[in-house]
Chain A
Amino acid sequence: MSKTHVTTKVNGDEVEFLCDPRETLLDVLRDRLGLTGAKEGCGTGDCGACSVTVDGRLVCSCLMLGVEAEGKEIGTVEGIAQGETLHPLQKKFIEYAALQCGICTPGILIAAKSLLEKNPAPTETEVRYWLAGNLCRCTGYDKIIRAVMDTAAEMREAS
């Protein structure tokens, strides 16, 4: 099957790739662009480990085709930190031990960042429902929720 040429932006950088029309955006990110931060936990949009943003909107990259990235702006976990400065969420996740194995962490960080951009003062319930599409099997979510709430509070103070 012939491949399609796609031009897109990932974490602010322009990239081009050729892909099979059946390849997902996640396949392209991982196998063609070498960005393995987004993970495939299920391939059916149920676990959120592959979360990325597309033109600012939170999506499961396993549910979108690579060819659909044409002309879009993609954001992945690799683009959250600014140079050596970590995003406040990244710092808090380390500080709170909000990860054990760390496989769900990239997706949860992307999803939590997306929440805080929309709602800088979420309640505990709002954080829990927003992150309900991101499975974590290690932590029981306790330290994740606390880390997100505390980041939100700190970012509010800083702004």
Chain B
Amino acid sequence: MALDSSKTTGFKYVGTRPNRPDGLDKVTGRAKFGADATAPGMLFAAIKRSPHAHAKIVKIDASKALAMEGVKAVVTRADFAEGLTGEDWNILENVMAGDTALYDGHAVAAVAATSALIAKDAIKAIEVEYQILPHVTDVDKAIEPDAPVIRAGAADASVPEGLHPNVVRYYESGHGDVEAGFAEADLVIEEHFTTEATHQGYIEPHACLGTLGGDGKGELWCCTQGHWNVQKVCAALLGLETSQLRVTASEIGGGFGGKTTVFIEPVALALSRKANRPVKLVMTRSEVFRASGPTSSTSMNVKIGMKKDGTITAAQGIFRLQGGAFPGAPCDMTAMCAFAPYNLKNVHQVGYDVITNRPKQAAYRAPGSPMAAFAVESVMDELCNQLGLDPIEVRLKNASHEGTTANFGITWPRIGLVETLEAAKAHPHYAAPLKPGQGRGISCGFWFNHGGETSVSLAMSEDGSAQIMVGTPDIGGSRASMALMAAEVLGIPYENIRCTIADTSSLGYNEISHGSRVTYASGLATIKAAEAAVEELCRRAAAKWDIPAEAVYWEDGYAKPSGPNAGDHEPLHITELTADMGATGGPINGHFEATPEGAGVSFATHIVDAEVDPETGATKVVRYTVVQDAGKAIHPTYVEGQFQGGAAQGIGWALNEEYIYGEDGRLQNAGFLDYRIPVASDLPFIDTVIVEVPNPGHPFGVRGVGETSICPPLAAIANAVSNAVGVRMRQLPMRPARVLEALESKNG
């Protein structure tokens, strides 16, 4: 019996657009998100945070808070595990400050009380004595010789000698001889670019409900992209056995990478252990901005040499990433993604991870890649402009494709960059005329995508319906994709499958929903789990017919004898095999666990038209087209949604969004009024083209789609604005004042 569902065409369910299984819950208000849970006897918590960018904590006096009516517990760093090392120690330091507050908003103590109002009053009553230290929040200033050292000894072995101690990681790669390459060029352009820190901006603040007893057993409900990771980290920070803490992922109100780590969950558990009652802890929006992970800010130099015919002769980039007070800024990713779209003989890239007195950066949708694309694709645009070349033709001429060597050393497998460029060239948008005051921008973008540890379990019910347990929280409709893939293998209707996000006690380990891995890895595991169930279903049919299992095959929900030699048997429908499964060998289940490593990389090409108001400097994106390789779109509507969402976040990053720090090192715009994300009236409809170049590493050809969509927008929009105003825009965001300044510089 051949049991391999691999195929890239001829699907019955995959590629259709059914309603999502959790749709009703989400339009009626009954879906339970992080802050929607309650427990009997529940307390409410609040966190005391440092108002200083950098300060020694001399003394914390909680006596007045503890004396207040309704206050049940106060915790500080003393209530967490000691002797941690590596990333566990870094996370603990971030979750609750040790002897030093490292940024404005750093947690220093927390309170649990009988109401949220009492908890808020109580944190004001906690007295903290600080000794203020010099601070730095800017990436370039943080590596100047006289910059204050944020934490001595934080650098790892990758950092060459002689660099400032705030450089904590270093990355370098490339091949060929860039100097020789630049000498061959007809035109060499080198520019400096900066981008500001932006926040993922999920609408749901971090929220959790934790219960932990003196017996070391706990329950935790929280909004997270990865509850097994929460389980592991919380257990370490509280000194528990991992398996004794059961973590349930709530519905999640957006993450975009920002909910891949922990911030408040260990605090709620520590308070619960101390008060011996369930504790609910919800961040305010201001806390989300000040103390959860924004993305890195950057300072970048990019130099590219080109011949008159558009051939790139050499490319070089230096990428400095500011990652807050802890190591981890994705300088390696930035450097690797930078020139990934191009087939280069001579290339060299360097990345610096720089710590400052800001919150620890967290992943944000293709971490590090959008900034790299901004710098590289801006220089590409300028080269095309100065040499009078078509930007898509030049990209096609230099495009990476199967068999070429990537800038970071790998040999590309089958990739779809050329297909996205061809589709963009053929799109009516590319040929549409522009109005006065408008400019058009093109950019490519690249993201790796990821596999990761994955477990899926599938169980047949007696009536022939199926339930799937997956461990990757559903952030944007993934339950629908899982059900479609299982339906395809089992040959039963999509509606007959229920997909549940299992808690940590109900399924084996699952890595976080990150790296655009869910439809790829949980999808692959779902297909394999369904195949295992089908194999057992065939075995049961074989036993009924008294023929070998190898003589049975599965088609469209039926077990069938594989040929005349297998005998003349009426096909058995799945319901005929599940109805008596208890008597024919027991429950029929399928499961799959592995670390799949065939996640196909993904490329995109975006086309943007922007219109600049010369009076105000305000930019309006008037037309936007996303072209991206999805490998195979399981549910095309949700693939389009990922394309559109990434483009919209990119528009915000390019035009409006930025963390603004004062001289005092305090964040000045910790709210949605002053940190303005795009609203409905800021945006046009966002057109999408799904390119499908199947990924050989997935049975149905899936490539992750969630992240690549945010890689091109910064550059595409900057190119559109630069072409509209006639001045190269090298700093993001392109806020109106900055654009006016550019216009004035041009007009002299």
- Complex interface bits, A31-49 against B, C-beta within 8 A gives 1, otherwise 0: 1000111111111101101
A141 touches B29 (CB 8 A): no
A94 touches B29 (CB 8 A): no
Say whether A70 faces chain B, with CB atoms less than 8 Å apart: no
A155 CB contacts on chain B under 8 angstroms: none
Known: A46-B673, A102-B31. A139 touches B204 (CB 8 A): no
A158 CB contacts on chain B under 8 angstroms: none
B26 touches A105 (CB 8 A): yes
Q: Which of A43, A95, A140, A144 contacts B19 (CB 8 A)?
A: A95
Sample of 13 A–B contacts (CB below 8 Å): A35-B29, A36-B29, A36-B32, A47-B203, A77-B29, A100-B641, A100-B645, A101-B255, A101-B476, A103-B202, A137-B649, A139-B645, A140-B645
B648 touches A101 (CB 8 A): no
List the 9 closest pairs (A to B, CB-CB), nearest first: A37-B29, A103-B253, A140-B648, A102-B26, A94-B23, A46-B672, A100-B476, A140-B644, A77-B29
B476 touches A128 (CB 8 A): no
Q: Which of B127-135, B350-358, B557-565, B679-687 contacts A (4 or more CB under 8 A)?
A: B679-687
Q: Which of B31, B203, B476 contacts A41 (CB 8 A)?
A: B203
A135 CB contacts on chain B under 8 angstroms: 203, 672, 677, 679
Cα distance A31–B38 in the bound complex, in angstroms: 9
- Complex interface bits, B504-542 against A, C-beta within 8 A gives 1, otherwise 0: 000000000000000000000000000000000000000
Q: Which of B24, B200, B477, B683 contacts A97 (CB 8 A)?
A: B477
- Complex interface bits, A122-149 against B, C-beta within 8 A gives 1, otherwise 0: 0001011101111111111111111000
Majority-rule SS of A interface residues: loop
Q: Which of A22, A81, A138 contacts B476 (CB 8 A)?
A: A138
B35 touches A78 (CB 8 A): no
B285 touches A101 (CB 8 A): no
CB within 8 Å of B: which residues of A?
Answer: 20, 22-23, 27, 30-31, 35-44, 46-47, 49, 76-78, 80-81, 86, 90, 93-97, 99-106, 109, 125, 127-129, 131-146
Q: Which of B27, B204, B681, B682 contacts A93 (CB 8 A)?
A: B27
B645 CB contacts on chain A under 8 angstroms: 100, 137-140
B685 touches A142 (CB 8 A): yes
Known: A80-B28, A97-B638, A105-B26. A42 touches B683 (CB 8 A): no
Cα distance A103–B202 in the bound complex, in angstroms: 9
Known: A20-B117, A97-B637, A100-B645. A137 touches B677 (CB 8 A): yes
Known: A129-B681, A142-B686. A99 touches B648 (CB 8 A): no
B123 to chain A minimum Cβ distance, whole angstroms, is 15
B683 CB contacts on chain A under 8 angstroms: 128, 140-142
A44 touches B203 (CB 8 A): no
Instruction: Contacts A94-B27, A102-B251 known; list 11 others, CB within 8 Å.
Output: A31-B116, A37-B30, A40-B282, A90-B27, A93-B27, A101-B255, A125-B681, A132-B680, A132-B682, A138-B254, A141-B678
Smallest Cβ-Cβ distance to A27: which chain B residue: B116
B468 to chain A minimum Cβ distance, whole angstroms, is 20
Smallest Cβ-Cβ distance to B202: which chain A residue: A137
